[in-house]
Amino acid sequence: MPLIVGLGNIGEEYRDTRHNIGFMIVDRLAGHISASMEQSDEPFTMGVGRFKGTKTILIQPATFMNNSGKAVLRACRIFRYLPSDILVCYDDVNLPAGKIRLRKDGSAGGHNGIQSIIDHLGTDQFPRLRFGIDKNYPRGKQSDYVLSPFDPEELPIVEDGLKKAEESILCFIREGITSAMNNYN
């Protein structure tokens, strides 16, 4: 039973921003596996669905990005997940817009949400899906850039990437991270 985590920031002002691509991925997946995302008493929004008979839990931390680890640790404790059972979906400025990369583990790569998860779980040994948002910002303006919406000309590329991200997660649910990496990287 996998746990799929989408990272983002809470609040309407952040809804369609680059930094919230993890939330967007989970929202799409929720529709596909008939999981209704609802606020829980815990520090996350969650939904439960099934794909090809496999029960899957989806969460979106109800913390800001930099405190995502608190919600992920809580979900792991409640549902008795090992770090290797989760897949964290998040934005990456080091990939072109719409490009995805799956990894079994690794460093935070400068991403504060991932660093928070590493700090709370005490390990970097958890699968992740990085979604490219590009690096099209002036020096010193990364924060403004990631908190801005995609440009209209990027939307078709982002839509294609979201479809590929969803397919790769369904592969992860069915066959695990190695198969998802082999088929979608």
User: In this structure, what DSSP letter does residue 1 have?
Assistant: -
Report the DSSP beta bridge partners of residue 17.
Answer: 149
The confidence score (pLDDT) of residue 146 equals 92
CATH number, domain containing residue 159: 3.40.50.1470
Which residue segment(s) compose the domain that 144 sits in?
Answer: 3-184
Predicted TM-score (pTM) of the model is 0.95
Evaluate the CA torsion angle 101, 34, 68, 77 in order and state its sign: negative
pLDDT in tens, the chain (185 residues): 899 999 999 999 999 999 999 999 999 999 999 999 999 899 999 999 999 888 999 999 999 899 999 999 999 999 999 999 999 999 999 999 999 999 999 999 999 999 999 999 999 999 999 999 998 888 888 899 999 999 999 999 999 999 999 999 999 999 999 999 999 99
Tell me the C-alpha distance between 169 and 165, whole Å.
6
**Three-state DSSP class for 4?**
strand
Burial class (CB in 10 A: 0-12, 13-18, 19+), 46: buried
Tell me the C-alpha distance between 94 and 2, whole Å.
27
Q: How many domains would you assign to the chain?
A: 1
What amino acid positions are annotated as catalytic residues?
Answer: 19
Residue 98's contacts (CB-CB under 8 Å, 6 or more residues apart) are 131, 132, 154, 157, 158, 159, 160, 161, 162, 164
